[in-house]
A and B are shown apart, each in its own frame.
Chain A
Amino acid sequence: MNTPLKSVQRQNNPYKDEKVIDSCSIFGMMDQNKKLFAGNDIIEASASMNQRANGLGSGYAVYGLYPKYWNNYAFHIMYDDKEALDWGSKFIESNFDVIFDEEIPMDIHGIHKHVPIMRRYFTNIDLDNLDEIKEDEYLVNKCLEMNTSGKGAYVFSSGKNMGVFKGVGWPQEIAKIFRLDEYKGYLWLSHSRFPTNSRAWWGGAHPFAHLESTVVHNGEISSYGTNRRFLEMKGYRCTFQTDTEIFALALDYLQRKHQLPVEIIAKIFAPPLWKDIEKMSGGERNLLRRLRITYDKLLMNGPFSIIFANHGLMVGLADRLKLRPIIAARRKDMLLLSSEEAAIIKILPDIDEVHHPKGGEPVIARCHEGFAS
């Protein structure tokens, strides 16, 4: 059966537990007009939830931050050492058309821990390389190849005009290290974790990115064994052994491969109870019935709240029994999702509305069509 390659496992899951288990905080902010804004608010909001974390991992996803290279695949890659850097750069150069690359600007003044080498590459895919494979498949395969190579190179994100910054540290620390105050984006996600069985490893923090989609997650999936087995049957490899990875891969499968809309995906992850389905009207009842029968192995059982994002889209969802919190809020065209309402109030005291979604009820935020950033 598919087993993850040793180098990632050794780092991320040194006790060889079945999977990594964390406690977390999550936060997301999106401007519906795609107006770019700085990250200071989200950094403050994330930092205000520090009792949910222990400083061993935080991260951010930013959309819209590379207007100059908006149409290039932006690789954020972490390297264990110089050898890995050399190998990785060669790998990227031989598989992609590199327009520009550089060290990711960092501020390590006053930081007393080891900070890995982080580099970013803005690339195109040479269409001649593709044969029959589509660009998406090509990108996924190459990222997987790098992550499972054992060479000490790990792709954090690879999508266009978006990027993931993450590592071992508190939210404020990671923000300082990556100089996040210098970026502007129209959609930001943040995450901070409290791992119980994963040692401090930069690659183990969240968000987890797959193509242009990112996920942050708080919770633990009891159905992990069932979900993972199904996704592996469909050809995915679970290299990072986290529940978050399962969400990212399941989202890829349902959105990209099956083209299912977000509303339907929410009903696959967190379907209503059979007894409630029975009371619904014919069409809806049949739809939910068939979804539960066909996608039974992607029902996410156990407590979770997740925020997932893609260009122009941010979605919050909690499990059927609402065993983890998630709150939604709006202030004019800014939409927010958070583990704690207090974190929202801290940065935007004058919000227009607040919503506490029920378990299984997705909160879907979409950017307005036709608005340029």
Chain B
Amino acid sequence: MLRSRRLPEYNVRIDTDTCTVCKACVIQCTFDVFSHMKAENKISIDESKCVDCHRCMIYCPDKSISIIPTPIQYRPNASWNKESIHNIMKQAESGGILLTSMGCDKPNYNYFDRLLINASQVTNPSIDPIREPMEVKTYLGRKPDKLTISDNNGDSIIETSESPQLLLETPIMFSAMSLGSVNINVQESLAMAAASSGTYQNIGEGGLHPRLKKYAKNLIVQVASGRYGVHKKYLDTGAAVEIKIGQGAKPGIGGHLPGEKITKEISEARRIPAGTDAISPAPQHDIYSIEDLSQLIHAIKETTEYSKPVIVKIAAVHNSAAIASGIARSGADIIAIDGMRASTGAAPLVMRDNVGIPIEMAIASVDTRLNQEGIRDKISIIAGGGIRSSSDAFKIIALGADACYISTVALIAMGCTVCQKCHTGKCPWGLTTMNPSISIRINPKMESKRVANLVRAWTLEIKDMLGGMGINSIESLRGNRHQLRGVGLSEQEMEILGVRPAGI
């Protein structure tokens, strides 16, 4: 690495009038910004290391610390702004791919903020969400074309067999975060929250940690290109198996676990050498075509004795609709689509910000295509990638999804402030670090409560919006584009989303 010639991004100041030199900041900061000068009994600051995560400010008992983005600016230039200039400098220093984490932070790719929701009045009453039952229970899985029911002495017998289903008490699930991208304390917090909320956690591609086994019936296990830990017992453990073809933050390439985060524990779980980057293969090397995918799905179903639904997860890309149509016909029960604003533990910056399409567009076009081909009921759809609120979740269901996947939201519930440094392994909140002295900052008993609170709050909000719309069952929201209106969208965007402009 050549010497950096960049000025620090943040200015860190301690108000020495109020600072009691308790050294909380020295302990809390994981980026080595603060150190204690014994002789002078003062805190010394290395601003260049600050990532603006706010851990020190929150834990300082005297509120002595302030962090501001450096007021020193480059000359105003829409093209050659600070970010463009710094990226070039970093690459000149390193000669490597610029890594980043979390989700695309660029403007203009969000459609949720341009969609509005209906309510019922006069011709059709709204339904009181507090006083009337509101049903958000969701089943995910393949549906039969019809039910053949015969009468046996007054009892109805269903002759049509049932494909395995996932039962969700609320249409919100926790998306894949592998052991390695996050630590076991985070995974256990999510598992506990999933169990108490009646939903599922996807444990990602890092294998199944023994501490999670007791939450098995609320887990989804993943088969990704690295095939970490994939054997029959692993497949049999979860409630469903997800084949990960791609992820929204970096379509086309595999998972990435930087060497800094590969501890002895991870090395044993994944059976890989410690300290070297673990980059999962780009495609799955036994899936080079749709027929290969179909074979893998059937191999998994044979292994699990057809007892679990199989999910196929793809990143949202240009021809998502055609891909989804193929997947629906390949034997999968559920398709998960991950949009470009999805988060990641580590990804090349250029891919995170430039590859893929927004989830709103992907879901709208996939739902429309599957309807046009008459196969929408063969498969359930889970949507993920930058869903920030219950209204985003509501809108994505109205656009055609059956449920949504959240990850960033769960991390924020547990303390994350989206500083985008997960890939360094130094997460001060103890979330995306494997360092046991920091990961201890996450206590599953406490953090799972925060995540469960989040799910509860969203579920109540979804019920409010349903009732306001005159609906008391979430079935009636699925694909119901009539209940959305667009603002500030082009005609073509509205056509793809299948929504009218507000006012018409």
Chain B residues with CB under 8 A of A229: 371, 479-481
Chain A residues near B371 (CB-CB < 8 A)? 1, 229, 232-233
> CB distance A297 to B472 under 8 Å?
no
Which of A16, A273, A299, A321 contacts B504 (CB under 8 A)? A16
Minimal Cβ-Cβ distance residue in B for A258: B146
Known A235-B374, A273-B135, A321-B132; judge A301-B144 contact (CB<8 A): no
Contacting residue for B475 out of A233, A287, A296, CB 8 A: A296
CB-CB < 8 A to A116: which residues of B?
none
Q: Which residues of A contact B156 (CB under 8 A)?
A: 264, 283-284, 287
B137: Cβ under 8 A from any A Cβ: yes
Please choose the segment from A72-80, A129-137, A146-154, A218-226 that sits at the chain B interface, where 4 or more of its residues have CB less than 8 A away: A218-226
A227-245 contact mask (Cβ, 8 Å, vs B): 1 or 0: 1011011110000000000
Q: Mark A285-314, 1 if CB is under 8 A from B, else 0.
A: 011001111111101011100000000000
Residues in A whose Cβ lies below 8 Å from that of B133: 273, 275
Residues in A whose Cβ lies below 8 Å from that of B377: 230, 233, 294, 297
Q: Are A299 and B476 in contact (CB under 8 A)?
A: yes
Instruction: Tell whether A18 is near chain B: CB-to-CB under 8 Å.
Output: yes
Q: What is the CA–CA distance of A302 and B477 in the complex, to the nearest angstrom?
A: 12
Contact of A290 among B135, B147, B481 (CB under 8 A): B147
Chain A residues with CB below 8 A from B158, complex form: 286-287, 290
Q: A225: which of B139, B143, B157, B479 is its contact (CB, 8 Å)?
A: B479
Flag whether A54 is at the interface (Cβ < 8 A).
no
The CA-CA distance from A229 to B483 in the complex, in Å, is: 13
Question: Which positions 132-154 of chain B face chain A at CB distance < 8 Å?
Answer: 132-133, 135, 137, 139, 141, 143-144, 146-147, 149
**Residue pair A302, B149 in contact (C-beta under 8 Å):** no
Is B469 engaged at the interface, CB distance under 8 Å to the other chain?
A: yes
Asked if residues B165 and A226 are in contact (CB atoms below 8 Å), the reply is no
Given the contacts A18-B482, A224-B482, A302-B124, A294 and B143 also touching, CB distance less than 8 Å: yes
Q: Is the CB of B120 within 8 A of A222?
A: yes
- Complex contact A264–B139 (CB within 8 A): no
In whole angstroms, what is the CA distance A1 to B481 when docked?
A: 13
Say whether A23 faces chain B, with CB atoms less than 8 Å apart: yes
Taking each of A222, A290, A320, which has the highest tally of chain B beta carbons within 10 Å of its own beta carbon?
A: A222
| A1, A233, A275, A287 pick with most chain B CB within 10 angstroms | A233
B8 within 8 A of A: no
Q: How far is the CA of A45 from the CA of B133 in the complex (A)?
A: 36
Indicate whether B372 reaches chain A with its CB closer than 8 angstroms.
yes
Complex interface: chain A residues within 8 A of B470 (CB): 220, 222, 301-303
B140 and chain A: residue at smallest CB distance: A293
Contact A296 B162 (CB under 8 A): no
Name the contact of B471 in the complex, choosing from A21, A223, A260, A274 (C-beta under 8 A). A223
Kindly provide the distance from the CB of B429 to the nearest chain A CB, expressed in whole angstroms: 37
Decide yes or no whether B40 CB sits under 8 A from chain A. no
- For residue A281, give the distance in angstroms from its CB to the closest CB of chain B: 10
Query: With A301-B471, A303-B124 in contact, do A223 and B372 touch (Cβ < 8 Å)?
Result: no
Any chain B CB within 8 A of the CB of A196? yes
Q: Does chain B have a CB within 8 A of A342?
A: no
Q: A345 in the interface, Cβ–Cβ < 8 Å?
A: no
A233 in contact with B374 (CB, 8 Å): yes
Contacts of B330 in A (CB 8 A): none
> Closest Cβ of chain B: how far from A360's Cβ, in Å?
12
Asked if B275 lies at the interface with its beta carbon under 8 angstroms from chain A, I say no
Q: Which of A219, A227, A275, A302 has the most CB of B within 10 A?
A: A302
B125 lies within 8 A of chain A by Cβ: yes
Q: Specify which chain A residues have a CB less than 8 angstroms from the CB of B500 in the assembled complex.
A: 18
Expressed in whole angstroms, the minimum distance between the Cβ of B6 and any Cβ of chain A is: 52
Contact string against B for A residues 245-270, beta-carbon threshold 8 Å, 1 for contact and 0 otherwise:
00000000000011011001000000
In the assembly, what is the distance between CA of A363 and CA of B149, in Å? Answer: 21
Closest residue to B504 on the A side, CB-wise? A16
B143 and A293 form a contact (CB under 8 A): yes
A294 near B147 with CB under 8 A, answer yes
Flag whether B368 is at the interface (Cβ < 8 A). yes
Question: Which residues of chain A come closer than 8 Å to B120, judged between CB atoms?
Answer: 222, 302
Q: How far is the CA of A323 from the CA of B122 in the complex (A)?
A: 12
Q: Are B125 and A258 in contact (CB under 8 A)?
A: no
- The minimal Cβ–Cβ distance linking A145 to chain B, given in whole angstroms, is 21
- By the criterion CB–CB under 8 Å, are B478 and A297 in contact? yes
How far, in angstroms, from A230 to B157 measured CA to CA in the complex?
Answer: 26
Q: In the docked arrangement, what's the CA distance between A287 and B160, Å?
A: 11
A232 CA to B155 CA, complexed, in Å: 33
Tell whether, in the assembled complex, residue A222 and residue B475 are in contact, meaning their CB atoms are under 8 Å apart.
no
Cβ contact within 8 Å between B475 and A299: yes
List A residues 46-77 near B (Cβ within 8 Å). Answer: none
Query: Separation in Å of the B127 CB from the closest CB of chain A?
Result: 7
CB proximity of B390 to chain A, nearest CB, Å:
19
The residue from B123, B127, B481 contacting A321, defined by CB atoms under 8 A apart: B127
Q: How far is the CA of A57 from the CA of B159 in the complex (A)?
A: 44
Could you tell me which residues of chain B, from 462 to 504, have a CB within 8 Å of some CB in chain A? 469-473, 475-483, 498, 500, 504
**A-B contact sample (9 more), CB < 8 A, given A273-B133, A273-B135, A301-B475:** A219-B124, A222-B476, A229-B371, A230-B479, A233-B377, A292-B475, A293-B143, A294-B377, A301-B472
16 A-B residue pairings within 8 Å (CB atoms): A18-B482, A220-B123, A222-B124, A222-B471, A223-B476, A225-B482, A258-B147, A260-B149, A273-B133, A284-B156, A287-B149, A290-B160, A294-B144, A296-B143, A301-B472, A320-B472
Q: Across the A-B interface, give the 4 residue pairs with the lowest CB-CB distance, nearest first.
A: A225-B482, A223-B476, A225-B480, A301-B476
